[in-house]
Amino acid sequence: MPRRRITQTDVAAMAGVSQATVSFVLNGSTPAGVRISEETRQRVLDAIRITGYTANPAAQRLAGGLAQILGVFTYEATFPRASRDFYGPFLTGIEHAAERLGVDILLFTSAPVADGRRRLTRDGWQRLGVADGCLLLGQHEHRGELQHLLDTNYPFVFIGKRGSDGGRLPYVGADYVGGTVRQIDRLVAHGHQRIGYVGMRGTDQPTLDRVEGYRDAMKSHGLTTRFVELEDVAATAAEIVDQRFTAVVVAPENHPEELADELERRGRRVPDDVSVLLLGQPHHPRRDGRQWSGFSVPREEMGARALYLLSRLVSDDGPRRERERDARRPAAVTEAELHQILVCPDVEGATVAPPPAGAPPGADAP
């Protein structure tokens, strides 16, 4: 469980001063007749740096310590460009949950995007202090920043499965492993044996989970795993033909529409000759595109669940005496609730069929 949040009292105890002195240093001004020496001021600043204390003006305004402002920070650009709108459903779920909870959402967008990524460095930590807690999401998070938030006890929830030392990092993720296993089972039930995995094997968590599910399912059926890790769509299609795959599972970021077009240029129709299942929604859908078989990621539900969890963590973070006297506060978050994995629903679609007659067996000849 996340530890309690660092307070001004903690800073005062470390610096050997009163809480009022800490407040004066933070505010940069003192009342008439009060003088703070440079030595004392430096001790307070050192204690703030060591403890990682972040002033929270929103929390100071809230009666009873209940959350009214919760933040959202994305490691990649948030708003959709062209046809891509990956974050939209997450934000929709967050908005609906915020309405039900009666809280305001603050979207942090001032951190510059460099090489497609944002960072919380420099004044980012102080900006987060405007909110009682924050949702984080993105494929390319900075692990050091997440660890810093854990060490300083700032309430946050990551949207997407993430690991941390001691399992303290709260998240709401999607069951990519189970979803991928079901797709392989589905293909085997149709009679497929030569089933390939198409996509680069990166270190992001969704990719790791998809590969794990693929490996586990193929092993359980006694089939050989085969990976196609080519960035060029035409070369990928050629490899699928050369490997004589009758079916492939594809990570959605790997341009499935273009891949299907390239396969058909090589005389392999989808799904008559090659079944294609997507491990998530297509990132670049076409209006006249196919109805893909596979599974979908419950992004709206993930966003809503994450905000509910964050609200409870912020509530747990409030003063104990306030929690005890306010019967409206929810029960404390349990260890199991810190790590929530949601089922990825299957999508029937129209891109899966039995293998063509005379298809080669699953195992390679010795």
Kindly state the average pLDDT of the residues 247-253: 94
Mind listing the pLDDT tens digit for each residue in 111-135?
666 666 777 765 556 677 778 899 9
pLDDT at 308 (0 to 100): 95
pLDDT at 124 (0 to 100): 55
Judging by DSSP bridges, how do beta strands 247-250 and 133-137 pair with one another?
unpaired
pLDDT at 325 (0 to 100): 39
pLDDT at 33 (0 to 100): 64
CA 161 to chain centroid:
6
Band the pLDDT of 26: cuts 50, 70, 90.
confident
pLDDT at 285 (0 to 100): 73
A 10 A CB-CB count for 263 gives 23
Task: Identify the helix (H) or strand (E) that includes residue 186.
Answer: helix 176-189
Lowest mean pLDDT among 99-103, 116-120, 223-227, 313-317: 116-120
Mind listing the pLDDT tens digit for each residue in 322-339?
444 344 445 677 878 899
Contact 276, 270 (CB under 8 A): yes
Contact 8, 23 (CB under 8 A): yes
* Nearest C-alpha neighbor of 176 from the set 139, 214, 226: 214
Q: DSSP state, 165?
A: G
Q: Is the pLDDT of residue 226 over 80?
A: yes
Band the pLDDT of 342: cuts 50, 70, 90.
very high
**Burial readout 7-40 (b: 16 or more C-beta within 10 A, e: otherwise):** bbebbbebbebeeebbbbbeeeeeeeeeeeeeeb
pTM (predicted TM-score): 0.77
* 165 HSE (CA, 13 A, CB side): 8
Judging by DSSP bridges, how do beta strands 293-295 and 346-347 pair with one another?
antiparallel
pLDDT at 53 (0 to 100): 75
Contact 120, 328 (CB under 8 A): no
Kindly state the average pLDDT of the residues 4-32: 76
